[in-house]
Structure 1
Amino acid sequence: MLHIRASMKFTREPVKRTPVTLYLDTDPDNPIRGATDRGGVASFDIPPASGKIVINGSTRYHGRLEGEIEIQLWSPTDSDSVAEQGMPGGDEGGSVAYPGMQVHGLRVGGREIETDSEGYLVNLGDWSEAFVRAQAEREGLKLTDETWEVIRYLRDYYERRRVQANVREIIKHFRAVWGPERGSNRHLHAIFPRGGPQKQGNRLAGLLRTKGEH
């Protein structure tokens, strides 16, 4: 069961009778719709999943959908939303091309974007959810709730700290969330078979290669 509690940022007053929509990462074309009640809570009877929460037309959260999630708004008509493309945190990104780099084209959302020979974005601002799906298909990776959750964690970690998560931090986080077996290094490499979350995960998250991968 998922409970979304929406309130005003400063007054803590509940955001009442407001549309709330869930977009599951594994089924984005079939949104789940609801609304907050008089207490500002919208409840959805779904198993744990990875996805986005849209309130009144704006994306307010993306990541693990489970338990109770609190979302605070500046105003009832607040239009600020969580970034769904580009670099985390609104960074402009920019080209990371270097002399002699082998560049490949990837068709994403009706336009051609560039990656290096391994699939890392040449222009970090080109990241989008559509890129994740296109690059995963090119790599033969099936996207699941687990893979999406790791990708969103990696982007959120960078957005909050301006550094990329290392392997130890990734394992620590997912052991706490998923338990010791599913959060183990072995399982994380099983769901990201081409280099684990620090390599394949970062690549799909639109982040840079980490030290030692060049």
Structure 2
Amino acid sequence: MIAVRVFMKVTREPLKRTPVVLRLDADGSQTPPVFTDRSGLASFDLPPTSGKVLVSGMERYQGRLADEIPIALWSITQSEQGSLGQPGAFPSGSNAYPSMTTEAVQVGDRSVLTDSEGYLVDPSDWSEDFARALAAQEGLTLNAEHWEVIRYLRARFARSGTQASVRDMIAHFRKVWGRERGSNRYLHRIFPRGGPQKQGNRLAGLLRTKGEH
């Protein structure tokens, strides 16, 4: 049995409903995502092995996978250790807990919290109405193309526990839309505030990724 416990570094608070994936060195395969329980624990019925731990699509640990592996996060986007086990730096600004700066997006009769860049504080708050409200706040009217990208991003994350890179998006949308509309330039044109990996992820209720540009 391999277990991964995910918690906040500062408060020691367990992170619930957080997707954890193991990527195994032996054959390069990865497990389906397992969501942490109320105690922040994700359990895998596997014998000890070596590989990587991905939390919310980002590498948090690399090495021997056995017993219980603690993953302490400074924030929802950074951890105390990188994937090679090297110490990380305390993040500055709105990403850091417990002093995170938040903003509210009005969705119907309720306020949904985001960080100062528009990323959801709690991914479970996502809804199509949230996406429409945030898009309107960013000066964007969602059309069929936007929704196709948003649903692709969410489906990809639900399926693999990892977020799509721009390269993944281009490869996918060139197949379904053709070379011109599936290009990096076109995807950035329809998501003008940061492209599909920033604005697209925000609207899809996902976190920022290491490869954002």
Q: TM-score, normalised by structure 2?
A: 0.55
Please, which runs of 5 or more residues in structure 1 have no aligned partner? 1-85
CA contact (8 A) 2:165 2:211 kept: no
- Structure 2 residue aligned with 1:111: 110
> What amino acid is the match of 2:189?
A
- Structure 1 residue aligned with 2:185: 186
CA contact (8 A) 1:116 1:122 kept: yes
Quick one: distance in 2 between partners of 1:212 and 1:112?
Answer: 29
Residue deviations 1:169-209, cap 9 Å, x none?
10000000000000000000000001111110001000011
Residue deviations 1:49-97, cap 9 Å, x none?
xxxxxxxxxxxxxxxxxxxxxxxxxxxxxxxxxxxxx999895899946
Classify 1:137/1:92 alpha carbon distance in 2 versus 1 (closer, same or farther; 3 Å): farther
Give every structure 1 segment of 4 or more consecutive aligned residues whose post-TM-superposition deviation is greater than 6 Å.
86-90, 92-95
Classify 1:104/1:116 alpha carbon distance in 2 versus 1 (closer, same or farther; 3 Å): same
- Structure 1 residue aligned with 2:130: 131
CA contact (8 A) 1:199 1:209 kept: yes
RMSD (CA atoms): 2.7
CA contact (8 A) 2:188 2:195 kept: yes
Secondary structure of residue in 2 paired with 1:153: helix
Q: TM-score, normalised by structure 1?
A: 0.55
CA contact (8 A) 1:87 1:127 kept: no
Identity of aligned residues (%): 64
> What amino acid is the match of 2:110?
R
Quick one: distance in 2 between partners of 1:91 and 1:185?
Answer: 32
Q: How does 1:1-214 map to 2 (within 5 A)?
A: 96=76, 98-211=97-210, 213=212
Secondary structure of residue in 2 paired with 1:156: helix
Deviation at 1:102, TM superposition (A): 1.4
